[in-house]
Structure 1
Amino acid sequence: MGRMHDLKIKRVYEPYDETDGYRILIDRLWPRGISKEKAHLNEWNKDVTPSPALRKWFSHDPKLFAGFKQAYEMELKDNIHVIWFIEHIETLLKEENVTLLYGAKSPTCNHAMILKEWIETHRESRE
């Protein structure tokens, strides 16, 4: 049994790197000012992103992050696509690294961190 590869998050605007492995954009909207070529996507998944209402309410305000995290986790809990997404990522991680890509400016105040943590927690609880 080989070791599992890494699940990472990264801004879609950062340069592509081979160590990114399989790249999944997890934003509902296409990030401004980046071409399809530059994005180097393997997949674009809109099904596991925060709802438009939640995204608009949050609008990347650090003061609202704790409330946003709680609300997004509730959405993830009720989202039927998330179970499939976690299994999909587990399958990919057997072969290569997986990088979740997001467009937000802040590396500490974005939904990708929450999603990554959610996936890791729920992978461990299923093992």
Structure 2
Amino acid sequence: MSVRVRRIYEPPEAEDGVRVLVDRLWPRGLAKDAAHVDEWPKALTPSTELRRWYHAGEGSYEEFARRYEAELTEPEAAELLDRLRASARGATVTLLTAAKSPEQSHAAVLACLLQE
């Protein structure tokens, strides 16, 4: 299994495999046909409240990751996470985000969970 995290604004690569947008909102200034997104499971994204809390600078990345992992235990999110895990077995999955620092984003948390 190979899980990659990339910014959605980067051009698609042949090594991307299944391209999954993991942001709740569509990235600004990007045409949907240019994004080459295979899946967009919005229920896997952080809640609006958590996203706003984190972007307001009210907490650390570690606290954000803990809260986000808790949200992923909700039934719909847990089911989508299991499905994504299954599709990642034996294939490459690229998690796409518009975050400026993907390594400090929810996409990195998802990547870690998928690789467990």
Partner amino acid, structure 1, of 2:30:
I
Q: CA RMSD in A?
A: 2.0
Shift, 1:87, TM fit: 3.2
How big is the shift at 1:65? 1.1
2:107 to 109, 112, 115: 112
1:67 shift after superposition = 1.5
Partner of 1:124: none
Q: Is the 8 A contact 1:19 1:97 kept in 2?
A: yes
Residues 82-121 of structure 1: per-residue CA shift (max 9 Å, x gap) = 3322332243234631111111001321100011112222
SS at match of 1:108: helix
Q: Which runs of 5+ in 2 are unaligned?
A: none
- Cα distance in 2 for residues equivalent to 1:24 and 1:49: 11
TM-score, normalised on structure 1? 0.80
Counting aligned pairs with the same residue, the percent is 37
TM-score, normalised relative to structure 2? 0.87
Residues 16 and 38 in structure 1, CA contact (< 8 A), matched pair in contact too = no
Counterpart contact for 2:72–2:78, Cα < 8 Å: no
* Stretch moving more, 84-93 or 42-51: 84-93
Number of equivalences? 116
Larger radius of gyration: 1
